Amino acid sequence: MSPEQAEGKKVDARSDIFSFGSVLYEMVTGRRPFEGANKISTLSAILHKEPPPLAEVAPDLPPELDKIIWRCLRKDPDRRAQHVDDIKLALEELRDDSASGKLPRTPQVDGQAAATPEEQPALIRKLFGSAGARPYRFWQIHHIGICLRCALLVYLAWRFKNVTSGTWSLALFFSTFLCCTIQSLMAAVLLSAGSIDRQFLRGETRKLSPWLRAFGLANGALAIIMTVWIAEGHTILAALMALLGIVIGVKALAVKPAMDRAAIYDSNR
């Protein structure tokens, strides 16, 4: 029984996730996460106590499993795992990592721990992380690039406004400024979500990625329109704007979905 159910509050699917975490804890440790002499003391433990960490009860289990169970057993429903599909995916990733030997191990040499490849210093590893972390690191770099490309497009649109005149010229500039601002803010939200919780990031990516791609395509289209407008009189500015518009459009249409799949959905990390 989840804490909110024990207190008689409104329950939803997150209450079932708490119950699933309790059963999973007992399955892997052989003991219940919340124990008491009777029902009242057990309910009190559910409301006020935390279960012993897996490292204390079953130290041979991977720490990743402890994190998954802890996400299920958080007392605050808003901080608990929100969707059972995310827990299912995390368990499948843990299973795949265990089967492929990707879980971290510390080999022994003459009774001392040997340095693993992940611990050995290397310039590429320092810049982009270990091989397993690189898809997500490149995903981060891609979203930082979105913000930088938006800033550059706003600058070029401002130059466009200065060399043209009329209501439509002003409208194109402000439309570009608005679209770039929204796209940059959404990219920043995803970057922040990734630094908080990878499970939370999956949900935010599902919600925001279609909009990110839509605003990226809109920015690319605006850049091409401004390019055609000034193609004859300002060749260099038009060429820069056309190149940036094509890059923004291609990345929004093809690169962004591929990055999401590699780093967020299909990653076995």
pLDDT, tens digit (0-9, with 9 covering 90-100), for 211-258? 988 999 999 999 999 999 998 889 999 999 999 999 998 988 888 888
Q: How confident is the model at residue 175 (pLDDT cuts 50, 70, 90)?
A: very high
Q: Which residues contact 258 (CB under 8 A, 6 or more apart)?
A: none
pLDDT of residue 49: 83
Angle at 9 between CA 7 and CA 14, to 5 degrees: 105
pLDDT of residue 269: 42
pLDDT, tens digit (0-9, with 9 covering 90-100), for 108-167? 444 444 444 444 444 444 444 444 456 777 888 888 999 999 999 999 999 999 999 889
Fold of 7-102: Transferase(Phosphotransferase); domain 1 (1.10.510)
**Please, what's the largest Cα pairwise distance for the chain?**
85
Q: Which residues contact 9 (CB under 8 A, 6 or more apart)?
A: none
For residue 173, which of 214, 231, 213, 229 has the smallest C-alpha distance? 229
DSSP H helical segments within the chain, as ranges?
3-6, 13-29, 39-48, 54-57, 63-72, 84-100, 123-128, 134-163, 167-196, 198-230, 235-250, 256-260
pLDDT of residue 149: 93
Q: How far is CA 221 from CA 99, 149, 182, 185, 230, in A?
A: 46, 14, 16, 20, 15
Angle at 21 between CA 18 and CA 27, to 5 degrees: 150
pLDDT of residue 67: 85
Write down the pTM of the prediction.
0.52
What is the residue extent of each domain of the chain?
7-102, 132-265
> For 105, which DSSP code?
-
Q: Do 34 and 22 contact (CB within 8 A), yes or no?
A: yes
Separation of alpha carbons 231 and 158, rounded Å: 16
Q: Do 159 and 229 contact (CB within 8 A), yes or no?
A: no
pLDDT of residue 217: 93
pLDDT, tens digit (0-9, with 9 covering 90-100), for 57-86? 777 788 888 888 888 888 888 888 888 888
Q: Of the given ranges (13-27, 95-109, 113-127), which has the lowest mean pLDDT? A: 113-127
pLDDT of residue 128: 45
Is 42 a residue whose pLDDT tops 70?
yes
pLDDT of residue 38: 84
Q: Which residues contact 150 (CB under 8 A, 6 or more apart)?
A: 180, 181, 183, 184, 219
